[in-house]
Every structure is written in structure tokens, then in C-alpha cells.
Structure 1
């Protein structure tokens, strides 16, 4: 009888085995994945939150191609070939603003205090917010490529460069979102976060090669546009989608991505720990 009792105790119960397997995955990743799902559910229940990654980039593309295309390139179709890669970069850049705004809103509503009362990793809310926004960037990029192809954009390269270009843009947006995360953790009002973010992104996008070549600009603006990371991202996409120089612009935008993350990610984590 004693041996029977000991055998029963020694055998793991069905509820113990999954718990042992789940411990292999770090708690920050498991909890962060759950909060990524929370962010996606929150977005689906507020479809208007997707306007900045779905409808707004399409409106930008249509307006610039069909209003300015004839004046800049002679006809809209020719300008579409130049403008689409740049507008794709602009769309994910604007979408990255949402990370800082969302974090600021969570701070205002007290959701951070609720997370602190739960047995979850301290880093999970930050990872969840950024992870959900990565899916928004991917959604925006895919929509832009589909709409561009429907309007007549023609890829001069194969499927692999197209996917590589989208990956480069998402990596660049991921780095930028850390900067907006810092802003969202420093500024108290979500509207102020959005206003300041727009004020930052407008010179980055319009003072670049997103809409026109740098050669058409005055020398002082051309000097800035040539080193602007947004210009590097747009030129990298043009090389990957239309053919032309690829190695130099891709290397440049990846270096900018690493530098931006190296500066802002540690600051964002330190501020988050202090605020949360």
C-alpha cells in the first residue's frame, strides 16, 4: 500500500506537465504575447484606429500621384513608379507614432497600475504594445503594395527582393517606434504626443527623397536629404523594387536602424521601469 501511494505521488499530474513545458519560454515573452493579442483585439474593436495604417497612406498615394505626378514626372504612371516606395516608407513612419500615443493613453487610464497588481512580467506591457504595432506596420506595408500594384506599379525584380524591402521598412519602423515610445513615456497628454510626433515626422518625410529626387532641391536641403534615414529607406526600396543600387542604401538604413535602437531602446526601457 505504501508503494502504491509513493508511485502515485511520484507520477506528474496532467496539469503539472504543461506548466513544466511553459517554463522553458521566458515569462516576459509569454506575457508579452498575451498583451500583443490584447492590443490586436483592442484594435479590431475600434476599426477607426486602423485609419492611419490603411486609408491614410492610400489617400496620400492617390493625391500625390494624380495631383502632382503630371507636374513632377510628366504623367501619373511614371511618377507612381518613383513615389510608391517613398510613400510606403512614409506610411510605416506615421504608423509608428501610434506606439507612443497608445502608451501615453495606457498611462492616463491607469492600466499600468493594473498590470503591476497582476503576476506578469514587468516588461510584458511594453513588449505587448510594440509587438502589436509591428503587426500594424506589416498591415500598412502589404496594403500599400497591393494598392500600388492595382494602380499600375510594376516590380522590376522578383518576389524575394519585394519581401526583403518590406522587411527592411518594418525593421526601420521598429527602430523609430522606440523613439516615439520615449516620447509617450515623457509627455502626459496623448494629444500632445501625437502633435509633437507629427512635428518630428513632417521634416523627416518631406525633407527627403520620398516625393522628389534630392538633385531638384536647394543645396542646403539636398545636404540634409542625402543623409536623412528616411531617404535611405526610400532609396533602398527603389533599388529592391525597381532595380538599381541596393547594397549602399540598404546598408545605410540598417546602420541607422541599429543606431536609433541603440540610443532610444535603453532610454525607453529605463523610463518604462521608472513610470511602471
Structure 2
């Protein structure tokens, strides 16, 4: 009597990059589902930038001199690139708090027990935060149109500007991830994420013309990565605020924005993944 045995097919292990991408998308999906079940988190994330748009537009609009004009409508168009950039960078604090919360609850240890790429937990989290940031930008753009903001270039250039904004937001999210892994509580991550964001966003050309600053402060503002993205968006939107600075980032803002964002991702992703591995041991 003979016994027939079925051969069990052996599947080759996936390439490490494919496995990392697959795991990252799974983690991103998990975070997006969690966000969808917490609509108040999304709503409160929208309220703050909308308040900035309204307050800056109507409170400071008539007192700012942009290109020799004190018109509030001119300032609104000048302002919006800065508000968009501020919104995507302020998402850093939320990303850091979320990762710190996962660490505090032991979720990271559970992920670590699974056969998955180590960097996928952080990559998935940052991708999910980028989706939320894109939603916030979309709503904010609608509000900006309602208060009088307009673009004067092609649809492709407008999309390119929003692409640069999302890339900057994604880059700064990795800074938030590193902060979230370096502190003990979500509250500390939120505070730590906001402390450094205020000088980055306000020592820039986002809300005022940097040429009106003192020379040393103007130099800092002109080489600020945040300023490069703001200036690039103004050019791509066709909004007022063309820089007269000789600084290379202000003369080539699109390229400067791309280079800055890619460098920030490369540096802080490396540091965050290294911190994640040491913090999980």
C-alpha cells in the first residue's frame, strides 16, 4: 500500500524592499482606520489653520506693505503660501505625539514581535500623517478661496506647489517621529514638537517680507528650508512676494525646496529608525 503525499509549495521570501513597502502600507492603513474613527482629531486639526487664515487676513491685512502695496487682498495672496507651509509643518507635533503614545502603550513592542521590517512602523505612520495633511490642505485651500486668495498660473504649477508642501510636511514628520521616540509621554512630544516649530516658521518669509528684517535675521530667514518652500509656492501660484535677496535658496526656491526636503527625510529617517531600534530593545 502506497501513501501519496502532497508536496507543500515553498514560496521564495520577498525582496527586503518589497517586504518593507508592504509592511509600511499595512501600518499606514491601520493608522488611517484609527484616524477615521477619531473625527474630532481631524476637525480640531482643521480649526487651527482656518483661524490663522482668518485672523492674519483680516487683522494684519491692511497694515502690511507687500511690494509697495498695503492692500489687504495683496497681503492675502502673499500670506497663503506661508499658511499652507505652516499647516504642513505643524502636523509634526501630532506625528510625534502619536508615536510617543504608541510607545507608551506598548504597541511598538507588539509590532516588534511580528516578522516585519523595522522601519515599516515609522514609515507607515508618517505616510498616514501625510494623507491627513493632504486632506487638511484641501479644506484650507477652499477656505482661502473664500477669503479672496487666487492663483495666476497653470493648473500643473499649482499642483506642483502643493506637491512641494506635502513633501516638506512629510520631511518634517520624520523630525516629529524622532522627537516622539526620544520622550516618555505624548504630552512631552507635543510640547517638544511645537517649541522648535515657532522660530522655524516665524523667522522666515511666511508672514512678512524678509527684506524688512535686520541683516543677520534676514540671512537666517533666507536660508531657512521653510522659507524656500514658501517662496517656491508663491512663484508657482503666481502670488506677490518675489524675493530680491541674493541668497541661492531665494533665487532658486523650487530646487532649494526639493533639496532641503530630501535631505531632511534622509537624515531624520535614518536617525529615527536607529532610535526606534535602540528604544525597542
TM-score of Structure 1 vs Structure 2, range by shorter chain: 0.7 to 0.9
1:40 corresponds to which of 32, 37, 42: 32
1:50 corresponds to which of 39, 42, 49: 42
1:59 corresponds to which of 51, 55, 59: 51
Residue 276 of structure 2 is aligned to residue 272 of structure 1:
yes
Count the aligned residue pairs.
267
TM-score of the superposed pair, with normalisation by structure 1: 0.88
Instruction: Write the distance in 2 (CA, Å) between the matches of 1:261 and 1:114.
Output: 26
2:207 corresponds to which of 194, 205, 211: 211
1:222 corresponds to which of 218, 223, 233: 218
Instruction: Write the distance in 2 (CA, Å) between the matches of 1:137 and 1:228.
Output: 21
Per-residue deviation, 1:22? 9.8
2:97 corresponds to which of 98, 101, 109: 101
User: Residues 116-265 of structure 1 correspond to what in structure 2 (within 5 A)?
Assistant: 116-242=112-238, 248-265=252-269
- Structure-1 residue corresponding to 2:62: 70
Per-residue deviation, 1:196? 1.7
Per-residue CA distance 1:176-227 (angstroms, 9 max, x = gap): 1112211111111211111122110000111111001111222232121111
Moved more, 229-238 or 50-59: 50-59
Structure with higher helix content: 1
Per-residue deviation, 1:175? 1.4
Structure 1: 5+ residue stretches without partners: none
Change (3 A) 1:22 1:72: farther
Structure 2: 5+ residue stretches without partners: 244-249
TM-score of the superposed pair, with normalisation by structure 2: 0.86
User: Residues 10-29 of structure 1 correspond to what in structure 2 (within 5 A)?
Assistant: 23=14, 26-29=18-21
Instruction: Write the distance in 2 (CA, Å) between the matches of 1:189 and 1:65.
Output: 36
Instruction: Write the distance in 2 (CA, Å) between the matches of 1:147 and 1:126.
Output: 32
